[in-house]
A and B are shown apart, each in its own frame.
Chain A
Amino acid sequence: MRKLVALTVGLVMIPASAMASDLEELLERGHEASYSAEQIITCSNPDGIADAVLRLSQSGGDLHVAAPVSSDVEITTGYGGWVLSQAGSVVSSTELDSSEDPADPRYTVDDGTPAAFLGRRATQFEMRDGDTLRARLIFDNETGALLKALTFVGDGEVYCERRFIAFNPTPPTIEMVEVDNDNRLWRSDVETELPEDLAWFSRLDVYSDEDGFAFGYYSDGFFSFAIFETPSVVALDEASQFQIDHGVYRVSYSPGQVIYVWETLSGGLAMIGDLPPDMHEAVLTGLPAPERRGWLGNVWKSLFG
C-alpha cells in the first residue's frame, strides 16, 4: 500500500511578494498557494462549447478536485500522483517517479497591471509569444493563487476561460488517499520513436510501464501535451474527424483538453493536451501519419511482432 498523497496542511500563509514578471516564478508561486475555490471552465472548441464546474482545494502543491454536479467523483493529484475515485472507491490511479527539468518558457509576460477579482486585490499579466497574446492570467496578490486564466488562439479569440467563482484563502485539509498502486510508471530510457521536438515543443521525458505502454511529455513552458504509443487505437466515444493533409484523425474535446487518436502501422498513437486548436496541426504533422494496418497486418503483427 502506498500513500500517494499524504498531506499535512501548512498553517503558514505564503506572504505576498512584489510583482513578478517572470512566468516561471508566477506559476511556481501559484503552484504553492493554499486555498479552496470553485472554478468554472468554459472552452470554445471547433465542435462547440465544453464546460465544467469544479471544487478545488490546493495546498502544498497538491490539488484536490471535485465536481459539484457529480459529487461522488474526486481527483487527488500532485507531485506525479493522480487518483480518480468515485463514491469512495479508486477508479484509476497513476504514480510517476520524477521528471526532467522544465522546458524553457517560450513566452514572456509583462510587468502586470493592478486588478480586482472576487473582491480581492490581484494582478493581471499578459503572456505573449512575440506579438501574439496567448494567455491573460490574474493572480491573487495575497496568496499567489491563479484566480483566472484566459488562453487564446492565434487570431486573438478566447480558447478557454478558467475562473474562480468562489475563493477561500484558508489553507484546506486534503484527505490522504491510499491506493494499492500497481500503476507506477518509471521515467524510461527505452528507445522510442517519439521525436525529441515537435514543432516548438520539447520532449521533457518518456515513461513506460511493464506492458510497454509508453508516452512522452512535451511542453513549451506553458502549454503541454503527451503523446502515447498504444498497442491499438484508443476507443474514443463521440469523436469527430479532423482532416489535414497528413491524414484523418479522430478527435474529442473536453473542457480545457483535447484528445486525438489514430492508427499507425505499429499500433496506435494518441495525443492529449491543453493546446489551443491552432497549435494542433503543427504537432500532428511531426508524428507518423494515420495509416490503417488492415486485418492481415494485425494477424502478422500478432504472430511475428
Chain B
Amino acid sequence: MSHPSVLISAYLDGELNRDEVGRLLDHLAACGQCAAELEATQHVRTAVRSLPMMELPGGVVSEADPVVVPLLRNRGFLVGAAAATAAVVIAVAALLTPAPTSVTVSDLNSRFGARVSLDPAFGPAKVVVPEIVQVGG
C-alpha cells in the first residue's frame, strides 16, 4: 500500500467502511510517515473547528453553498408573513376604530342660533329656521 493520503482524510471524515479502516490502520502501524500525516491533519482540523463563527456579509449567501439557498426562501416567507400580519392589524384597527363623533345639521343650527341671538342685528332679519319648520324649498 502506497501512502494513502486520501484515505487518511476519508478516515477522519468517517467515510471508510470497516475493511478499509482495517487496512488503513495496518498501514499506519507500519508507516511512520502516514501516522505523522494523520496526526498533523487531525491538529489542523481541530484548530479550524475552534475558530469563532462569523456571519456572512449580505449578498454572499446567493453565491454560497446551495444548501443555504432554502434560507432565502424562508426569508421571503417571513417578509410575506410580516406584511400579511401588518395588513391584518390595520384591518382589525379599522374595524375596531370608533366612528368619529357625529355632528348633525341640528347641532350647527343650535349653535349658530344661539350665537346669532347675541348679535346686535338679531331679530326678525336673522331668525334661524330649522329644517323642520320649512314649508317649501
Contact = CB atoms under 8 A, between A and B. Distances in A.
Contact of A299 (B93, B99, B110, B125): B93
Interface residues of B, number: 44
A222 B121 contact: yes
Given A56-B127, A91-B106, A94-B113, A27 B132 contact: no
Contacts of B108: 226, 228, 234, 259, 270, 272
Contact of A267 (B100, B102, B106, B123): B100
A207 B116 CA distance: 13
Contacts of A284: none
Contacts of A211: 101
A137 B125 CA distance: 9
Contact of A149 (B115, B117, B124, B136): B124
Interface residues of A, number: 94
B48 interface: no
A257 interface: yes
A132 interface: no
B129 A99 contact: no
30 contacts: A31-B122, A41-B127, A49-B136, A50-B134, A52-B135, A58-B123, A67-B133, A75-B133, A78-B117, A84-B109, A94-B111, A137-B125, A149-B125, A151-B125, A162-B127, A164-B124, A207-B111, A207-B115, A211-B101, A215-B115, A217-B115, A226-B115, A234-B103, A252-B105, A254-B137, A259-B105, A259-B108, A267-B100, A268-B103, A302-B98
